Each structure stands twice: as C-alpha cells, then as structure tokens.
Chain A
Amino acid sequence: MPSTALALTPGLASFLKSLKTNPIDTSIDNLISCASKYLPQYFFEIATDTVARLLKRRQIRHSRSCATATAYLLLRVISACRTTDAAKLIERVQSVGRRLVAAQPREMVVGNIVRRVLGLIRDEAEDDRDAEFALSEASESQPQTPRVTDDPSVPHERDTLSLRHEASERSSSRPPVASSTTTPISMFSLLSHPEPEPSLPGSPVSVSPSGRVLSHGPNKDVRAEVLDGIGEIIDELGQVDDQIAAYALDHIHSNEIILTHTSSTTVQRFLLKAAAKRKFTVIHAESYPNNHEATHATVSGNSGGDEEILSTESFQKPLIALGITVILIPDSAVFALMSRVNKVILGTHSVLANGGLVAAAGTRVIARAAKVHQTPVVVVSGVYKLSPVYPFDFESLIEYGDASKVVGYDDGDLVDQIDVQNPLYDYVPAELVDLYITNLGGHAPSYLYRIVSDHYRKEDISF
C-alpha cells in the first residue's frame, strides 16, 4: 500500500508522481463524502513522513525541489483537511511544517513555503472578517498607501534599482495595500486600549496584534482560496528563473567578463538570456568538490547523471552553443583573475533577513575577493529563498557533506590520520553583496527586510 510505495521513492520526481498517480489520491476524494476521516489523515501522515525522510536523507537537495515538494505536500494536506475553519487549517499546516523543518532545519526554503501558506490562510481569514468594513477601510487606507511606498524608507541606500522594484512590486500579485493594512502598527499599540473598540474596527489604532481574531463563523470557502494561493506559489516556483532572467540585459553588457560559481540553473538561465543578445565572457569557477561535476556538465553542455532534478534544465543549450567564451577555472584561481572581472554573478542556497546569504562553499571567498577588487557582486535568487530567519549563529547554518569527496576512503592511510571536513555552504555577510536580483527586481541588501515583511506574517516567523 502507499506506505511502502512512498517510502521507497528515490527523489522528488517520484514523490510528485506518487502524489499525482497514487490510487489513494483519487480514492480520497471519493471517500471523503463517506465521512471517512481516517483515510485523509492517514494519507498526509504518510506523505509528510515521506517528505521529511527525503529531506533528512538529502534525497531532495536543491532549494527549489525542496520548495516544490513542500508546496505540493501542503496542497495535499489542505485539500485533505475538510474544514473551512481557518484556525484549524493553520494548526494543521503548522504541525506539518514543524515536522518538515525538524527533519532538515538547515533547509530554509521549507520553512519559507510553510510560512507563506500560513500567511495565505491568515490573509483569507482576515479578508472575510474585514469584508464588511471594506468601505471604511478602503477610504482610510487608499490615500495612505502611495505615501507608505513612496516615502524613502531606505534613505541612504535607495537607488534606482529599488525604485524600479517598487514599480514591479505594485504590479505584482500582492498589492501594497494589503501589506500596509495588515501589518499592525506596532508603536501605536503601546498606547491603544487592549480590547479593540467594536464601534471603530477599521481604524489603524484599534488594530492591535492581540485584537486580530481569526474568523470562525460561516464564511466562503477559505480552503479553496488557499488552494488557489498555493497553486500560485507553485506557479511562481516554476517561473522564477525566467522572471529573474528577464533582468539579465540590464546587468550584463557587451564585452564584459562575468565570474560565476557552481552550476546554479538560475545563474545559467540569467546568462543565457543575456547571451541571446550580447557577447561577453564567462569565467566559471568549478566549485570542487561538491559541485564540480555538475559545473563541468553545465559548461560543456553534456549533462549526464542527475537528470531527475535537472530534467527541464538539461534541455537547455550550454552557453558555448550561443558563442559565449566560457573559461573554466579551479576555485583557487579566483583571486588571481578577479582583477579582470567586471561583475560577479552568484547563485545562492538561501537568503537571510539581514541580507546575508547561505550559498555553496567557496562563495564567500569569491565575494571577499570581489570586495578587494571593488568588483560588483550580484546575487540572483528567487523570493522563495528569502527567509525571515535572523542568523543568530552562523555556524549552525552550515551543512557538512560527504568527506570522501575530499579524500576518498580508499586512501586509508590518510583517512586514518586526518580529520577531513567538507562544508557544503558558506555564510556570506550582507556587506559583501552589492545587489540582489529576485523575481521582483533588483534590491540593495538593506532593502530585503521590506520584502521579508511583505511576504511573511510576523506571527508566523517562528511557527
């Protein structure tokens, strides 16, 4: 039955397949009407276990795969949860989320997706509650909104790029109106009365964080709305590289020398987009020992092996096919070549709330070398990698990988006598990054807090 079928899944693709094709999947929908409460419960217990196990064993590794798996799982969890009560949905999602995060605490994107789904549920629940006050709310928040976004919120580091971001943000699916009204006005809550006066529910002062009560009454189908929202998140995950690549021509100019690192598909897509129009040179650091094979494959264009994860990307033409000169260098040559590089473009594993990032080992060396040579460092990353977690302890974020990649176990004498470590990630502080390009546009590292507060609810930061 499903437990064995799912437990043996080797990776993400088969997990997703099993979600879609598993006979129990269709039977759930049929059986729900028979009020069989145990089956859906049983199903997502198993599914959660499977994802947790995949994460733990690192059978799902790439950030995007983890994000996709989480989003699909939550989609199943919510559709199996036959309730319109937002509070129950939140509880359910939180418990699933906690298990996933516990399975792989260093994989930030899992928590990010869970937080976004929680935010979706809360938004829907509050929309229902606020619907009746819509008129008074709208009249009060409309004149306020343009000022909130237009005021120089980052006075000293605001540049044209963040302005451009705002334009794109305004046109994006999340209107700024929502963010300005849903975030509680923190300092005023110090002064306002504890219980919100029922006669003035729409006014900003009475909206204290404690006063937010989720609706319990009969309302429209919160669940359906949330499922739509998760569908949008999944769509976003699918389009994110293309959206980021759309900014490529603004940042890569003719005859520039670009340095990059690892086989990040986001970076490849970005460079390919620019290569369609311009001629430039790419210096590719091979990122030994954890990613060098994939990097070599990316450069040469014959990607073998890991087809399961790179299934769509493996159809991608390599840069050399578009007439771009690609120079593959060992990681140790980065500093020597940095003086000739015009721009460093890096992929990342996750981005933290303070503007720092956790990226493949070797990234910090490159960023540091770029700083010494005053070379701009651009990080391309989907918004889904942006985590509201503050890096209290940098060491705890670093994951260690297979030491045999550095010294093979067949080299017995050496292995016996030395301690080999193979960190997979580096923490790169915000000062070393000049610009982030996300699917919303380009942002200064100091501006990321704003995107964090737009995407995640404060109450969900530690769920």
Chain B
Amino acid sequence: MATATATPSKPFDIVATYNDLLRSDPDLTMPIAAIEALVLLLTHSPSSTISETLDLLEKSTTHLKQSIANPIGLSAGTDLFQRYLITTLQRPGQLGPAGDFNAIRAHLLSNGRLFIRRAKESRNKIAAFGRGFVRDGSTVLTNGGSRVVASLLQKAADEKGGPSAVRFRVIYVLSPSKGDVENTSADAEGMETVRTLRSKGVPVATIPESAVAYSLGKADMVIVGAEGVVENGGIVSRMGTYQIGLLAKAMGKPFYVVAESHKFVRLYPLGQYDLPIEQHVLDFKTEEDIADQAGKDNTKQSEGAPEVNMVDASESPLGRSDVVDFTPPHLISALITDSGVLTPSAVSEELIKIWF
C-alpha cells in the first residue's frame, strides 16, 4: 500500500491522516474516513497483543474525537470499528486470540479498501430504495450538501426518458457558503448538485433558508441528509434542518431522511443543547462585552502568536457553516437507509444488533 511507505520515520498522526483522507476523497463520509484512519493506524502500529491493540485504538479514538470539532459523525465509524475488532479478535479461529497477529493486520489491510467501496455502494443502494419516494410530478425540497441526497436525486433524474421516467422539481435550500467572511464569491454548499441536476434537465429553484416556510406550500416532500442518526431515531444534521423539520410537520409534508446505516451513532440527545459538542451559536453580548473583547484582542496581538491561536480555538470551535442541530424523531416520517426504509423507532434496533 502506498500510504504505508509514506511516513516510516514519523510517528503516525491519526488526526492528520483522518483529515487527509477526508480531503483527498470528497465522496468519503466522516465515519468511513475514521475507520480508514484507524485501519492505517493499526497497520502501522507495532503492537502485538490484543489488549495493546485495543488500548491503542481507544487512545487514538479519544485523541481523534478531541481534535475534531464535531466528532458525532466520526464516532459512529470509530465505534463500529472498535466493535468489529473486538468481535473479530474474540472469535475462535485464525484471526482470534490464538491467531497470528500479522494475519490480523493483513486481514485488516485487505479489508481497508473494501470498507470504502461498500460505503459508496450503500449510497447506490439507498438511491435504489429511495427512488420510489420521488414520484412523477412531485416537488422535492432539500438542503445542504449531502452526498447521499445528491446521489438519490441524480439517480431519479437519470431515469428521465427511461422506462420509468420521473419528472420532478427540486427546491434547493442554500445556506451561506463556508468561510463567507473571507471568500464571498465562493459557491454555496450544494451549488454543485444544483448544477448537475439542472444539466440533467431537472428544474431546480434555489432559495435562502428564510424562504423555506414560504416555499414549502409548493413542495410535496422534504428530503434531507444527516451527519449522524442517533438512538431515538432523531438526526444530527447541519444547522437549519430542525427548523425545516418543524415547518414540514406544521404543514403536513412528509420529512424523509437519507442516511447510510454506518452513520448510526450511540447517542441519545434529549434536546438541542444536549449534543456532546461545543457550538457557540448563541453568544449573548452587551456593548461592554464587545468592548472588552476588542481590548483583549488588541493586547493578545501585541503579546504574540501562540496565544492568539489559543483564543481562536476557544472562541470558535466550529466554523459558522459547520454547526449542527438535532431533529427529534417525531418530525421524521421515515429514514431511507441501505438496510431499507425505517421508521425512527427502528433505528435503536439496528444499533442493538451491533452492540448486543
């Protein structure tokens, strides 16, 4: 493998690997990138006993989770991998406790590519399941830059002119692009999907988030992606999904979530403010606070660089466009996953299948 020879001398940096993986393949989801990073870590590690391996895995996972601003999506992957490894190692046989550790390593390596291929295949599977949802003559409202939603809509659009021609329209909710402060000319997230759909002949209307309530009357259904699907069947998704869910409920429109089953996380959030991540969305300030802040910034700048970094880290752990909210299960009509169309209450069962 090419990556194995890349950094023989330097200690393996799980965070950098994870970020590299995410950057190198735009189709990669966070859980799969995390799994791949962990596989690379294990193939690099010199550990030779099970407890050593599990310990290393535990430490790296914690480290990775701490270093990434929003570890919800990622933790689905690390949990899944950890669980898989424990089951594999405890199983009698060649890969079990009595087996040769090098064999285990080889097995993991050979499967590394497979994971990613399967993850991408599951997207196609979902598109096949979800095709039935996009009916002829319907209008779909969607948001964000979810790759699964994009592939679902594209799949439906591809059938145009085929035997099961589906004519549908899309209302795309665009949110301000990433890093809007520095780069105002940058495309909003999802613009690429909009262009692809338009090139396939699907009429797409783009609206700002503030126009959702206004436009929803014209839509037949809402389809959104998710970063993580939590135990109670709710979803953690980009900021703004919750309000779309509420509006869809109020207007009686079905609200569908498209997510791969490897995004299922063992997390039971009780509300918006119960997510295990720090987001400074609400930042109450008085004039005095702002003045204080400005003064502090000035002194920091005169003192030197390292402290500026520290302030930056504590001030905005997440960029504006990376913030997420939690959509509770009662707003969701169904989850379209690679294991079928599930009701929100079926999510916990899927999770239990893995953990018990």
Contact = CB atoms under 8 A, between A and B. Distances in A.
7 contacts: A151-B356, A186-B339, A188-B84, A190-B122, A190-B261, A200-B92, A461-B340
A327 B277 CA distance: 59
A416 to B, nearest CB: 30
A428 to B, nearest CB: 14
A188 B232 contact: no
Contacts of A147: 356
B343 A446 contact: yes
A156 B231 CA distance: 11
A110 interface: no
Contacts of B133: 392
A449 B345 contact: yes
A355 interface: yes
B81 interface: yes
Contacts of A45: none
Contact of B135 (A148, A393, A450): A393
A196 to B, nearest CB: 12
B354 A156 contact: no
A197 B93 contact: yes
Interface residues on A, range: 35 or more
Interface string A422-463: 000000000000000000000000110110010000100100
A147 B353 CA distance: 10
Contact of A447 (B84, B92, B345): B345
Contact of B87 (A153, A157, A205, A355): A205
Contacts, number: 100
A200 B91 contact: yes
Contacts of A152: 348
B224 interface: no
The B interface, classified by DSSP as helix, strand, loop or mixed, is: helix
A458 B121 CA distance: 18
A305 interface: no
A186 B350 contact: yes
Contacts of B350: 186-187
Given A156-B329, A205-B87, A450 B349 contact: yes
B88 interface: yes
Question: Top 8 closest A-B pairs, CB basis?
Answer: A186-B339, A392-B132, A446-B345, A191-B84, A153-B349, A154-B345, A390-B341, A449-B346
A151 B334 contact: no
A185 interface: yes
Interface string A141-184: 00010011001111111000000000000000000000000010
Interface in B300-356: 329, 333-334, 338-346, 348-350, 352-354, 356
Interface stretch (B40-48, B110-118, B154-162, B281-289): B110-118
Interface residues of B, number: 45
A255 interface: no
Given A154-B348, A199-B94, A450-B349, 10 more contacts: A148-B352, A185-B354, A188-B87, A190-B262, A191-B35, A191-B81, A193-B107, A205-B84, A355-B343, A449-B342
Contact of A191 (B111, B268, B334, B349): B111
Nearest to B80: A187
Contacts of B171: none
Contacts of A449: 342-343, 345-346
Nearest to A205: B87
Contacts of A354: 333-334, 343
B264 interface: yes
Interface in B65-87: 80-81, 84, 87
Interface in B110-167: 111, 114-115, 118-119, 122, 132-133, 135
B65 to A, nearest CB: 20
A262 to B, nearest CB: 26
B114 A193 contact: yes
Nearest to A393: B135
A458 B340 contact: yes
A390 B80 contact: no
A385 B81 CA distance: 40
A187 B264 contact: yes
Nearest to A194: B114
Contacts of A192: 84
Interface string A301-321: 000000000000000000000
B132 A390 contact: yes
Contacts of A66: none
Interface string B260-304: 011010001000000000000000000000000000000000000
Contacts of B345: 153-154, 156-157, 446-447, 449
A192 B343 CA distance: 26
Contacts of B264: 187
B3 to A, nearest CB: 19
Interface in B228-245: 231-232
A446 B343 CA distance: 7
Nearest to B263: A187
Contact of B88 (A144, A190, A205, A392): A205
A188 B93 contact: no
Contact of A190 (B93, B118, B231, B343): B118
B340 A148 contact: no
A312 B50 CA distance: 67
Contacts of A199: 93-94
A353 interface: yes
A200 B342 contact: no
A182 to B, nearest CB: 12
Interface in A53-100: none
Contacts of A27: none
Given A156-B329, A354-B334, A190 B119 contact: yes
Contacts of A154: 345, 348
A203 interface: yes
Nearest to A390: B341
A203 B353 contact: no
A203 B86 CA distance: 13
Contacts of A393: 135
B132 A187 contact: no
